[in-house]
């Protein structure tokens, strides 16, 4: 039997989502001696599928995670170098484009209000 907290951990939903499902009648639950809701696992998983179980041992998972971290750090370094090169190129082209712009033209003087006479 699950409590609301255990049901939330088993399904990946929040405790409030499980409580709302009980209140709306989507999941049937009973109260125990203390007044907490207890939910039958079959009833819970009829509505919310269980989270997949991790089948790897802790050591295998740690080793795999460290290898993945090293690979990701190497990729990150390459991407940071590429980003720096792209920024340098952008700044170079921006300076070149700014140098090629014509000088700003002065605004014409406003016409006097009697110009149409």
In a domain? residue 107: no
Residue 6 to residue 49: CA distance in whole angstroms: 14
Residue 8: which domain range?
A: 4-47
In a domain? residue 100: no
Number of domains in the chain: 2
In a domain? residue 42: yes
In a domain? residue 112: no
Do 41 and 69 belong together in one domain? no
In a domain? residue 20: yes
In a domain? residue 21: yes
In a domain? residue 101: no
The shares of helix, strand and coil residues in the chain, as percent rounded to the nearest 5, are 60, 5, 35
In a domain? residue 105: no
pTM: 0.45
Chunk the chain into consecutive blocks of 10 residues (it has 117) and report each block's average pLDDT, rounded to whole numbers: 90 91 91 90 89 66 85 94 97 95 86 66
Rounded to the nearest 5 degrees, what angle is found at the Cα of 111, between the Cα atoms of 107 and 115?
Answer: 155
Using alpha carbons, select from 14, 10, 21, 105 the residue that is nearest to residue 51.
10
Do 41 and 8 belong together in one domain? yes
């Amino acid at each position: 039997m699950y409590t609301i907290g255990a049901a939330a951990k088993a399904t990946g939903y929040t405790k409030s989502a499980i409580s709302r499902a009980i209140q709306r009648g989507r999941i049937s639950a009973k109260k125990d001696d203390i007044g907490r809701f207890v939910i039958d696992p079959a009833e819970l998983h009829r509505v919310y599928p269980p989270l997949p179980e991790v089948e790897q041992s802790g050591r295998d998972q740690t080793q795999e995670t460290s290898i993945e971290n090293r690979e990701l750090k190497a990729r990150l370094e390459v991407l940071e170098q590429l980003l720096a090169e792209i920024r340098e190129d952008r700044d170079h082209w921006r300076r070149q484009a700014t140098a090629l712009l014509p000088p700003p033209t002065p605004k014409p003087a406003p016409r006097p209000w009697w110009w149409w006479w």
